[in-house]
Amino acid sequence: MDYYEDHVVLNISDNASDDSWDFDTDLKERCDRDLSQDFYRIFVPTMYGIIFILGIIGNGLVLVVMGYQKKTRNMTDKYRLHLSVADLLFVLTLPVWAVDAASNWYFGNFLCVAVNMIYTVNLYSSVLILAFISLDRYLAVVRATNSQATRKLLADKVIYLGVWLPAALLTVPDLVFTKVREKEGTDSLFSDDPTVTTRVICERIYPQASNTIWIVAFSFQHILVGFVLPGLVIFTCYCIIIIRLSRGSKGQALKRKALKTTVILILCFFCCWLPYCLGIFVDTLVTLNVIPHSCEFDQGVRKWITITEALAYFHCCLNPILYAFLGVKFKKSAKSALTLGSKSSQKTLMNKKRGPISSVSESESSSVLSS
């Protein structure tokens, strides 16, 4: 779903009745035409297609392994399951947005609302679950002796109140404002002489009188709930974990591996999400006329948001690697699940699995980052 296209359309419609806006409207339309449509119509579907394929494979495999080891799941596995479900449902919406970006909206008003709601709930739930995982690892490493009850409560109950309920509530604007409508524009993709065309689009349509207020409010909501709040939790928890693991001299090899994993988790989250949220923030400042803008600047912001949006969504493909396949236990379970060929071999593997894995209680303070 293209953030910037939706943003520009709404800004124009908000002031369509104002004669003084005619010049700005024409300028924005010319800027929109000048932006390479080849880039947008090729880049977005291509990237969404790649993310969709990788996301389906990675998160699907995590779900298969989770089903295989359902009798021996620990609290970390429960978070992996929530994360994979959220990421999988999110990437399932990307082919729809790829078609929309490449051509037109063909799916009707019902799917317009439904896909937007699915997109929103799983976009927010995915990053909020990452915050819960960092909090769980903080408790397991820093508060290892007396945190079992708290961790169990967080993994079994609080996650629904702290992740899925807020994410579901954030879909209310999609239910209220999202509609299908026709938009007149120009198509200069294959011609130097642009012709007027009508394109069906799926977007949020806000009341004209308060259009800018709605746009700015939801932009800041996206930044705060989708990045700043979970980012603060992730950064704080993992920094405390790094400080804790850096102390002492026992188990240096395991500690070095845990520290390396922790740094990778922090870098991947911020490298994927920070550029996109910075783009949204700059675009919001432009909407508020805090930053002066021009045709070239608007085009640059739109390209930046389009590229970094794909980078942010790519985090859904990294999550199975970062939070599952880096773990030794999970990799063993994955190999066992993928090598099941018959009922006899399945029984043998299940017996092996029940032996060493169930006998190792994962003293969560030392192995939780590599589990």
What's the pLDDT score for residue 41? 86
- From 59, 178, 67, select the one nearest 129 (Cα to Cα): 59
- From 158, 106, 111, 98, select the one nearest 131 (Cα to Cα): 158
CB 299 within 8 Å of CB 35: yes
Q: Which of 25-34, 90-99, 257-266 has the lowest mean pLDDT?
A: 25-34
The span from the first CA to the last CA of the chain, in angstroms, equals 35
Confidence of residue 35 (pLDDT cuts 50, 70, 90): low
- Give the tens place of pLDDT for each residue, 239-258: 998 888 887 666 667 767 77
CB 144 within 8 Å of CB 364: yes
What's the pLDDT score for residue 340? 61
What's the pLDDT score for residue 4? 54
What's the pLDDT score for residue 307? 94
| Phi and psi angles of residue 197, each rounded to the nearest 5 degrees, phi first | -130, 160
Cα dihedral: 273, 278, 283, 286 (round 10): 170
CB 72 within 8 Å of CB 58: no
* Higher-confidence position of 245 and 44: 44
- Give the tens place of pLDDT for each residue, 160-172: 999 999 999 999 9
Residue 2 has pLDDT above 60, yes or no: yes
Q: How many domains does the chain have?
A: 1
Residue 358 has pLDDT above 70, yes or no: no
248's torsion region: left (phi>0), alpha (psi -120 to 50) or beta?
Answer: left
- Give the tens place of pLDDT for each residue, 60-84: 988 888 877 766 677 888 888 899 9
The parent domain of residue 111 ranges over 3-370
Confidence of residue 124 (pLDDT cuts 50, 70, 90): very high
- Give the tens place of pLDDT for each residue, 304-354: 999 999 999 999 998 888 877 776 677 777 777 667 644 444 554 455 455
Residue 22 has pLDDT above 80, yes or no: no
* Higher-confidence position of 127 and 37: 127
How much is the pTM? 0.79
Residue 8 has pLDDT above 60, yes or no: no
Q: What is the average pLDDT across 90-98? A: 93
- Give the tens place of pLDDT for each residue, 139-195: 988 887 788 899 999 999 999 999 999 999 999 999 999 999 887 655 544 445 555
What DSSP line would sit under 254-291, residue for residue? HHHHHHHHHHHHHHHHHHHHHHHHHHHHHHHHHHTTSS
Residue 180's domain is classified under what CATH number? 1.20.1070.10
Look over the chain and give the mean of its residue pLDDT values, rounded to a whole number: 79
Give percent of the chain with pLDDT exceeding 90: 42
What's the pLDDT score for residue 245? 82
Q: Which of 23-37, 50-64, 264-278, 290-304 has the lowest mean pLDDT?
A: 23-37
What's the pLDDT score for residue 17? 44
* Higher-confidence position of 323 and 358: 323
